[in-house]
Structure 1
């Protein structure tokens, strides 16, 4: 019998062989890895009070009748009144859609799409967190289609649940105004939702869905509830680490025959690395302060808002892998857990919490593939963002344990629930959690280490308790 470490190394070697360009000398064929990467991003404007420029931007985009997406909580805030005042000053017509579900479903997406299709909107504005922005992006996609009457909802949804058809029509201008510091959705062409029939998350991903402009105004996150700040920040944390440790872009297969077929998530690359590492430094320095000093630490809230966008640029091109792939079953199979500071009308495990729960187990596992990068991450977290080299002289075989231990200390310090059991799961749920992870190959294939269903089951088991 192989030891766990030996087995992991064998799988890593098999994965490397699988990704290597293999050609038959007689036929010259073979599955080729990619040779190029793209860096695409929404235009980003950052600054306190930058929302005042929204009306000018819409006018410059020739938008005069917009669909305005938000949620019922945001709609009641003074900051949203400022948005309406800006629109009215510039005489821009708007219709508000606020029936956003926190952690959207296919049903809530369809309701938003129906709303968008009923109006003759020449632009879209999303004011809210990831759920609002993702819903707005999906509505824009379907309502902008010249064939919207005949388009099936699953046409653009990621396979294997949907058909994953390429988007070939132009979308209307979309401006995203994030009110949480987490998803980075203002920079990405991704919209995530729960597919209720399968109790699993999936999404729509295409570069054309990226917002035209992201207005990053720190004034919108100063009133964010403490646990919303925490769970949003955990998403930033995992975006940064997963994109930095993802398979390199030139090891991803297959090589596209047409650039339009190149996936949104392409693997780590030298440019995405810069964004991911800088975002991680900010998380290490500011996340705990942002959680603990609600309303009082404007610097921490501001820097986390910027970190969310930086991580979004990084993972929006490089991608994420196992933490996110495994999270979709965790949030999709929730029974009775109600997160503090979130709506109480339905059980909910916030996305960032579902992602971070498996992070110690996942990175202890993936460290065998790229130990140097995992040690760099551990160094940054352990030094509050000050150093990448604290652990670089440690043996590579210890990289996984070092990072896992530091992550557990970090999460304990910001009062994260003690593992999946604290969210209502038991070991009897592991088969269902693994089953929900299998369709997420769009992201799990970017893991630096080849993995099996048995590996996934072990990772879920090792995540039942964190401390």
Structure 2
């Protein structure tokens, strides 16, 4: 048998999907098919107040299921909020879970599922070098994800993300067993989202698609064994298809969804883009913008965004977008044609920039400006004196930086952060 030094195999995993207006009302039937009788709805106070969580619970109850609700999910969850949610869930026996909300609720539901099925320390499962990176020892219970934002794609990914408060950095858990059993995606649930949330969530979708599309190719990684092959395996032909379709949908719908709000067609395309981008990056991975976004969110001091709880916060979608123009300038030499194609998919009617290297960054900056994303790190409260701390936090994200299409060192990250204080 021929021995190969580089990888010759890629894996692609997906979540069964139910998509469309009114899909959420069928959730009781879906849970019954998965064998769940006692289910816990996991959501945040805003979704609970809007009545969406109760609507999901009522649909499950009508099908004969016993339903509880945990409605104290922290927006941008932390190690502390995960612990509180797990403690609550552990007071009763559940044989299934429903995550209702944005990525915060769905990721919290994933953590509850893991840590109540296999009780242990959160640290054991966190990605290295922050945690031990251990795999779940066996299958998890059924988990149905019901996204209410076109954002994280958490309904189709094998990861959950959190802030480590003591370290002031984001990290996560990554393993195929964390993927939900079913994604129920209903565009009607997003019609009431504030424009600021729509904009930030959508930038997360966009970065998912772009980062997975420009990731290091799977066959450029060292050869893996079946035991060592990771969930984020690099760009591959199947993930590329999902990323391209997500970018095409975003190019037509993103501005409309933010600026008009009630455009159901635009909201539908955004939800589809979020799910498709999740199917891409949930296998290929993400890289520099997400690695930089984690310390940007984790080190926040006094920036309070509109449309979110009245507390210091850089929403995840904002945090990953702020360094995206600079990051894609950095990665451009690895595959100029791919970067230019991404720019055309996102802005098919825009005259390309004279400098090919600037085509994608200029498309991103124009979109971000139009939908109200902060202009750069300076607008969310950072100064040049923060660069060392931001670099240190990003360097901790080696699982993500390993997916970048070229090596990324501390000096490279410092230059990217410096280039991101003002994007226009």
* TM-score using structure 2 length: 0.97
Structure 1 residue 118, shift from structure 2 partner: 2.2
Q: Provide the rounded CA distance (Å) in 1 between the counterparts of 2:111 and 2:53.
A: 22
Is residue 316 of structure 1 aligned with residue 282 of structure 2?
yes
Is residue 355 of structure 1 aligned with residue 320 of structure 2?
yes
- Structure 2 unaligned blocks of 5 or more: none
Q: Provide the rounded CA distance (Å) in 2 between the counterparts of 1:303 and 1:357.
A: 24
Q: Give the 3-state SS of the residue equivalent to 1:103 in structure 2.
A: coil
2:31 paired residue among 38, 58, 62: 58
Structure 1 residue 445, shift from structure 2 partner: 1.1
Partner of 1:77: 50
Partner of 2:133: 164
* TM-score using structure 1 length: 0.88
Rg comparison, structure with higher value: 1
1:204 paired residue among 173, 180, 195: 173
Q: Provide the rounded CA distance (Å) in 1 between the counterparts of 2:264 and 2:63.
A: 30
Q: Could you report, residue by residue, the CA deviation over 1:259-286 in whole angstroms, capped at 9, with x for unpaired residues? A: 2421111100001000000000111110
Q: Provide the rounded CA distance (Å) in 2 between the counterparts of 1:128 and 1:404.
A: 31
Q: For 1:291-330, what aligned pairs fall within 5 Å after superposition?
A: 291-295=258-262, 297-330=263-296
Q: Could you report, residue by residue, the CA deviation over 1:241-267 in whole angstroms, capped at 9, with x for unpaired residues? A: 1100000001123x322x242111110
Q: Provide the rounded CA distance (Å) in 1 between the counterparts of 2:316 and 2:279.
A: 19
2:92 paired residue among 106, 110, 119: 119
Aligned length: 423
Q: Could you report, residue by residue, the CA deviation over 1:217-244 in whole angstroms, capped at 9, with x for unpaired residues? A: 1111111111110000000111111100
Q: Give the 3-state SS of the residue equivalent to 2:161 in structure 1.
A: strand
Q: Could you report, residue by residue, the CA deviation over 1:66-110 in whole angstroms, capped at 9, with x for unpaired residues? A: 111011111122433321221221121122111111111111111
CA contact (8 A) 2:196 2:372 kept: no
Q: Provide the rounded CA distance (Å) in 2 between the counterparts of 1:238 and 1:444.
A: 14
Partner of 2:338: 373
Q: Provide the rounded CA distance (Å) in 1 between the counterparts of 2:11 and 2:279.
A: 12
Partner of 1:453: 410
Is residue 237 of structure 1 aligned with residue 210 of structure 2?
no
Q: Provide the rounded CA distance (Å) in 1 between the counterparts of 2:422 and 2:55.
A: 44
1:275 paired residue among 212, 225, 242: 242
CA contact (8 A) 1:364 1:399 kept: no
Q: Provide the rounded CA distance (Å) in 1 between the counterparts of 2:272 and 2:333.
A: 31
Q: Provide the rounded CA distance (Å) in 1 between the counterparts of 2:227 and 2:42.
A: 29
Structure 1 residue 119, shift from structure 2 partner: 1.6
Partner of 1:402: 359
Q: Provide the rounded CA distance (Å) in 1 between the counterparts of 2:309 and 2:186.
A: 24
1:364 paired residue among 308, 318, 329: 329
Q: Give the 3-state SS of the residue equivalent to 1:96 in structure 2.
A: strand
Q: Provide the rounded CA distance (Å) in 2 between the counterparts of 1:412 and 1:80.
A: 33
Q: Provide the rounded CA distance (Å) in 2 between the counterparts of 1:112 and 1:167.
A: 19
Partner of 2:399: 442
CA contact (8 A) 1:166 1:261 kept: no
Q: Give the 3-state SS of the residue equivalent to 2:57 in structure 1.
A: helix
Q: Provide the rounded CA distance (Å) in 2 between the counterparts of 1:440 and 1:343.
A: 27
Structure 1 residue 363, shift from structure 2 partner: 0.4
CA contact (8 A) 1:144 1:169 kept: no
CA contact (8 A) 2:38 2:95 kept: yes
Q: Could you report, residue by residue, the CA deviation over 1:26-68 in whole angstroms, capped at 9, with x for unpaired residues? A: xx99x93321111101111101101121101111122111111
